[in-house]
Structure 1
Amino acid sequence: MPQNCVRGDKMKGLIYLEDGTYYEGRGFGKEGTCVGEIVFNTSMTGYQEMLTDPSYCGQIVNMTYPLIGNYGINEIENESNKVYVKGLIAREICTNYSNYMASSDINSMLVKSNVVGVYGVDTRSIAKKIRDCGSLKCVISNKDISVSELKEILNSTQIKHDYMKKVGTKTIIKLKGEGPKIAVIDFGVKQNIIKNLIDRNCDVTILPYETSYDEIVKLNPDGVLLSNGPGDPKEAKEAVETTKKIIKNFPTLGICMGHQILALAVGGQTYKLKYGHRGANHGVYDIELDKAYITSQNHGYAVDSKSIEKEMIITHINLNDMTVEGMKHKTLPVFSVQFHPEGSPGPTDTSYIFDKFISMVKGE
């Protein structure tokens, strides 16, 4: 292992999965033990954005790229004001970073944010395990603890599925602009989504999860954006009921969780994917434009294509598994995408989604 891995020789690292599989490695980050759903991400870069993405709340992220931390941590690439990842697993961790923008290393970020990390394990093997077995409950620890103790901790801990109700803003946030007034329903919105609206001179109001339809009407927005967020969309019952009213009266864009909530609002269904889509190289086909794009994705649920046929038209499909990646309403100014148009893996290929939304809001 590289010599620049913090406390690697002092901290034991253990990973225990609900099927009884366990891995031994070394620990980093905050000393402790945590339980969550283990998922894998195939991105080669973007670990800082992942750590601070609210959509990862409650999850332990296994990075398949072998070296994490080599360009450090900077002050501008956070997707929120805190780290939401429950735990981090990596093959190698680099703290001797090289990047003119960096001001800290990944280990220090995890220590400061009370996040447990384990490295020195075969992360590709873990990813294959998840692909074969599906989503798994997992416990990781960098304390001196036995496998049997980890098993007991895992079995006695329940995983929550309603994080979207808790990770967003608790107060109304107003960001002034001279353009269209956009209300953002915050299920765990990423800062890059807000930045894309601001870059288009929108007047943005970010609203808490529990905001009622009547409160939205009082704001008199030109359009509504249903944001990304963590958890099972079926747990967002209040948001689904509010969305049913929103789409009848306001131009609406849904992104990721917002896409799923929109599907439920029109009478459709969602289902849990075997192991989700998490990475920056997912091919998506735009049926209307007859063009394929490389997209950034982070979700564990998908929309049932047959369940939305009455109200929606499918506009985008995933080129790997043919799942629904986008849809639009047959009669209303409403559409959504499952991928992250702000993720910029192209680097800006899918930002046209925001332009399309603004044009729709303006009635162009």
Structure 2
Amino acid sequence: MAEVIEGATGVLVLADGTVFSGIGVGHVGQAVGEVCFNTAMTGYQEIMTDPSYMAQIVTFTFPHIGNTGVNLQDTEQFGREGGFGGARTTARGAVFRDVPTQAANWRAGSGASGDLDAWMKARGVVGLAGVDTRRLTKRIREQGMPHAVIAHSADGRFDLDALIGEARAWSGLVGMDLASEATTLQSFIFDEGLWSWPDGYAKPRPEPRFEVAVLDYGIKRNILRALTSIGARATVLPASTTAEEVLARHPDGVLLSNGPGDPSATGDYAVPEIRKLVDSGKPVFGICLGHQMLSLALGARTIKMDQGHHGANHPVKDLETGKVEIVSMNHGFTVDREGLPDAVQETHISLFDGSNAGIRLKDRPVFSVQHHPEASPGPTDSLYLFERFGTLMTG
């Protein structure tokens, strides 16, 4: 039975019955998902439009969100229904400490293309503000990422028992293939480079140095921008594309993209094809979900993490050079570093918890990383990995 929570127009209801109440933001309605926290201080638009957050509710630990507004250029996802899609293929909800502030940035647009609240309404993203995000973050750190329902009701009426029941009934991300929903439905060529002041996004080279086939499991635009910036022509292909179809295009290399969901579930159809691509001798570069599925194809296994890694300040050590990089990460599953096959060399580890962050094959031009070297948002310490990929394709 619906009840009124005094002074509240929004709630986050966890499966264990815990209720966080506050001010509803964005879309009026409700959404179920897994609650995680992100520690980045900038880039909330890129975070909320990263397909890797599909079926998740993002808690921002940085308290002040919204002041830079939003724009049409910084959306990371590709829309499937024309335009930029919405929460169906990216974050389902967002939790803020403070009510999002008005936009005050020269790059922000107007209306739904500039104001965060209006933008969330247009995309169908449910938000909640006025929450003690430190308490919620501590809860996630100590007990893991909970299933929850986030709800926004203008009259402040919520059926909490029903919301708790919905959160408890949700199956969760384990065993869930989301890449098949996030992927493109048809192939296309991407032709935009990295952003730089004051020119904006760069134009690609007239004559590409490389032809790269990109298997899209939920690709971010900035990964493709980083590819074109090393001289690649990036042809984006659906996740279900077979190895034979990829190799028929005679690419110089293959990139396995980031994406959402359980890598083992997506791997049912993707891993056998990745194994064939590795056997072909073509250079292969995997990022995030692509890293996990490449690891599965090489004989490793993946496991669900309690808190995951979500932020733009994660220290990763390159075991081959000893260099420490600060990187962006966004993943809730990890490669089990204890079970790596003999042919696989571990190249990177997280300095937060020692988990695996990169591998390479000892005898073939194949490598991958758990972090997001294209950043967006975050530091660019790892952009050199795209150049490394280019070197493999040159060789």
Aligned with 1:82 (options 81, 85, 88): 85
Aligned with 1:262 (options 290, 294, 319): 294
Q: Give the partner amino acid of 1:283.
A: P
Confirm or deny that 1:98 pairs with 2:95: no
1:10 CA drift (Å): 8.2
Matches of 2:54 and 2:48 in 1, distance apart?
Answer: 9
C-alpha distance after superposition, 1:147-201 (max 9, x if no partner):
2121122234434521111101110112465211100000001000000111112
Partner of residue 68, structure 1: 65
Confirm or deny that 1:29 pairs with 2:26: yes
| CA distance 1:63–1:148, change in 2 (3 Å) | same
C-alpha distance after superposition, 1:85-105 (max 9, x if no partner):
101110113242210111111
Deviates more, 1:301-310 or 1:248-257: 301-310
Partner of residue 185, structure 2: 170
Partner of residue 128, structure 2: 118
> Aligned with 2:74: secondary structure?
coil
Aligned with 1:287 (options 319, 327, 330): 319
8 Å contact from structure 1 (residues 11, 28) kept in 2: no
8 Å contact from structure 1 (residues 169, 186) kept in 2: yes
1:76 CA drift (Å): 1.4
1:345 CA drift (Å): 6.3
Q: Percent identity?
A: 41
Q: Give the partner amino acid of 1:332.
A: R
8 Å contact from structure 2 (residues 23, 99) kept in 1: no
1:228 CA drift (Å): 0.2
Aligned with 1:46 (options 23, 43, 46): 43
1:101-180 pair list within 5 angstroms = 101-103=107-109, 104-143=114-153, 144-159=157-172, 161-175=176-190, 178-180=208-210
Aligned with 2:230 (options 200, 220, 224): 200
Partner of residue 274, structure 2: 243
Partner of residue 345, structure 2: 313
RMSD: 1.5
Matches of 2:51 and 2:116 in 1, distance apart?
Answer: 18
Q: Give the partner amino acid of 1:180.
A: F
1:199-218 pair list within 5 angstroms = 199-218=229-248
8 Å contact from structure 1 (residues 287, 315) kept in 2: yes
Partner of residue 3, structure 1: none
Q: Give the partner amino acid of 1:243.
A: I
Partner of residue 203, structure 2: none
Deviates more, 1:256-265 or 1:342-351: 342-351
Matches of 1:195 and 1:332 in 2, distance apart?
Answer: 26
1:309 CA drift (Å): 3.5
Q: Give the partner amino acid of 2:95.
A: I
8 Å contact from structure 2 (residues 47, 377) kept in 1: no
1:146 CA drift (Å): 2.7
Matches of 1:192 and 1:351 in 2, distance apart?
Answer: 11
Matches of 2:162 and 2:229 in 1, distance apart?
Answer: 51
Partner of residue 6, structure 1: none
Note the residue ranges of structure 1 that are not aligned, 5 or more in a row. Answer: 1-8
> Aligned with 1:92: secondary structure?
coil
Partner of residue 232, structure 1: 262
Partner of residue 5, structure 1: none
| CA distance 1:23–1:74, change in 2 (3 Å) | same
Matches of 1:348 and 1:295 in 2, distance apart?
Answer: 7
| CA distance 1:62–1:187, change in 2 (3 Å) | same
8 Å contact from structure 2 (residues 46, 377) kept in 1: no
C-alpha distance after superposition, 1:200-234 (max 9, x if no partner):
12121100011011111110111000000001100
Q: Give the partner amino acid of 1:97.
A: A
Note the residue ranges of structure 2 that are not aligned, 5 or more in a row. Answer: 1-5, 78-83, 192-206
1:11 CA drift (Å): 6.2
> Aligned with 1:75: secondary structure?
coil
8 Å contact from structure 1 (residues 52, 82) kept in 2: no
Deviates more, 1:264-273 or 1:74-83: 74-83
Q: Give the partner amino acid of 1:295.
A: V
| CA distance 1:359–1:129, change in 2 (3 Å) | same
**After TM superposition, which residue ranges in structure 1, 4 or more long, deviate above 6 angstroms?**
none
Aligned residues: 355
> Aligned with 2:248: secondary structure?
helix
- Answer 1 or 2: higher relative contact order, Cα 8 Å, separation at least 6: 2
